[in-house]
Structure 1
Amino acid sequence: MVLWILIAVLTLSVLTLAFWPAFSRSSNIGATENRVADFEHDIAVYKDQLEELDAEEKRGAISQDDAAQARIEIARRLLAAEEKRDSGKTSTRLSQRRVFGTRILAAVAFVFIPGLSLLMYTSLGSPTIGAQPLAARLQAIKEAETASSEQDKQLVQLVARAESHLKENPQDGKGWDVLAPVYFRLGQGPKSADAYRNAIRLLGENAQRLSGLGEVLSAMAGGVVTVDADALFKRAVALEPSNGRALYYLGLGNAQAGREDTAARQWNAIVNNETIDGSWRVAAAQSMARLARENTLALPGPDEQAIKDAEQMSEEDRQAMIAGMVEQLDSRLQENAGTVEEWQRLIRARMVLGQESEAVAALERATSAFASDPQKQAQIHTFAEKIGLKVKQ
């Protein structure tokens, strides 16, 4: 009996706390109006942040990829604030008419919820009914999380809200500019291309919009850099010579056209340009390595500065970048003797990657390459000893 009394008291307490505002005589209209004003302030702040982000990107204070991610997040918050503001205005107008209905609903809940709970417990709460296995419940949760991530949900909501806004305000260039990369991320190429074109038409050309549209057109063509995309990338480079995306795709276009040596030089310039975003430098290094494996081209190799720059990247990006440059240098040295400095770079890079056996093999190959020049052999052996590589006598 004590247990049932305790359950009843807890149930009534929770219901009272939940529905107490419905029985309050004071109006919450003033509080709602204050919240609307707060949302108006937030909207103004987010719009200022978008303008500041554009200015920072033009100054080069932030990379294009980071700016795109920040722009998407600010836009999401801006749209959410607009939606809350509109909802607050509506609730202010309707709050008076809802009071009576809400109080009736609360009164019904005080009777219905405890009664329904008691009925369900007596029919389903028997101790003889076995519990669902924990493993099955965990598996169901895992499958649900895999099916739809929170970030994807936010993007879908962002797109729906932005589409509704742009339908009413088709001349909002910033709206199209924000939505274009989101469409591309969701795999909606045609919509992304249209959004980029609208942004260019309303806001004018810049390197980010031109290279973004070019990337979308290439993706829609199955990864092929089309004539239209190539023209867009060239215009982007004319506006911003260090635009990594445009430079990378120009190299890809040359590779696809059979001009592998030109592509290799363009990608090598990206790898050794520390002003370009790291993700495009890694992509360029990997593409160079692929060309070296497939075509055995005489590609330029990494220098000390390139390896030093790679150490500032994440572990995954650094390993990919160094491995790509090492493979293309190794391929080149297989075709000709090279110089003492090039062999030293290869041996050092192998040691950086933890490939000591490959470093020993490179040392032996260098020794053979300079069999007729004992002085150069001695330089390479001295270098190897300094970096901790055992030299066979």
Structure 2
Amino acid sequence: MTLWIFLALLALASGALLFFGLGGRPVALTRRDGSVAILNDQLAEVAADRDRGLISGAEAEAAEIEIKRRLLSVARRTEAAPERRGSGRATGALLAVAVPAAAVLLYLQIGAPEVAGRPSEEVAAQRAEAAQVAALTAELKARLEGDPEGGPTEGWVLLGQTYMTMGRYEDAAGAFASVAGREEADSSIQSRYAEALIAAESGVVTPKARRVIDRAIALDPANPAAVFFLSQAREQEGALVAARALLVERLDSADGFQPWMELFIASADRLGEQTGDAPLDLARYAPMLGGGRGPGAADVAAAQDMAPADRMAFIESMVEGLAARLEDEPGDVEGWMRLIRAYDVLGRTQDAAQARAGARAAAEALPGDDPRRDAVLRALDGG
């Protein structure tokens, strides 16, 4: 409400400036005003010359008659073609209404009037946190670069992952490049390096990224992230059938459900729309999704080789799906325990606490002779 009051006052102020500024008397004289002023000055000069004796009374009278005749002539021309003195006020009135109205319409179109402004303390806290992260990241980089032995591989990987989270993809690629040639650089590091290179080019798989992808595939042909990026490269080359086949082949070779499957299926179906292939059946690879199985710690860990954004989006969707089902089936003790583990892995402590309350309520509702009751309650109590 405060914002709208401020905007209204601002609109009124700007409208008043436009109205009175353009609607008042013009600063520059019109041609008529100039002629009248000159003739009046001439009349005054004639009178002054007569008073000083420079001209006779007859001469002064004749001059005054001629000047007054010119004044009448100017007046007649003005009546025949009246000046539009009111046009400035009309223009001011129009702009006084149009400018604020246009501003409001533009704000409603591209602004967010329904979103409350964030307190300055919150903005300051976020900026301070971002500055702290940037400082710690710079310190980590300095330590790694200052290490005479080149810095530990784990440190460079952490730096690269931090840069990815910050959206500094070129810096992330540089961090992964520092260790990509090391003997201990496995397929996971290579695929992370490829991901950073692709992100730095706005999703384009460059020849350099393609070489890194091939290296990741050579180290581990089953690396889902490397397979996904290779499919992306084939798609950009125009080999849509081959790109889709890579995804389907990896899906078929998986040993049981994996968290990256939904992303693979979505990508394969998108390609299938262009190749004429039928959509894949998610239940074929993950029949437990329909039954409400939620991701556990192993499921979340198995998604670590996926692109960060895709990985988190998929895991979050799985977790939210399980949480939604438990609202309808609050008595599913096993479901609550899986949800607790998923929240713990994701670091969502508050949600995990709420899930523990749901699990406790479900366990306490079980019959006393149900062995799950005591087992769940002991687990929730840390026993």
- Larger Rg belongs to: 2
Does TM, scored on the shorter chain, surpass 0.5? no
TM-score w.r.t. the length of structure 1 is 0.40
| Structure in which a larger fraction of residues adopt helix | 1
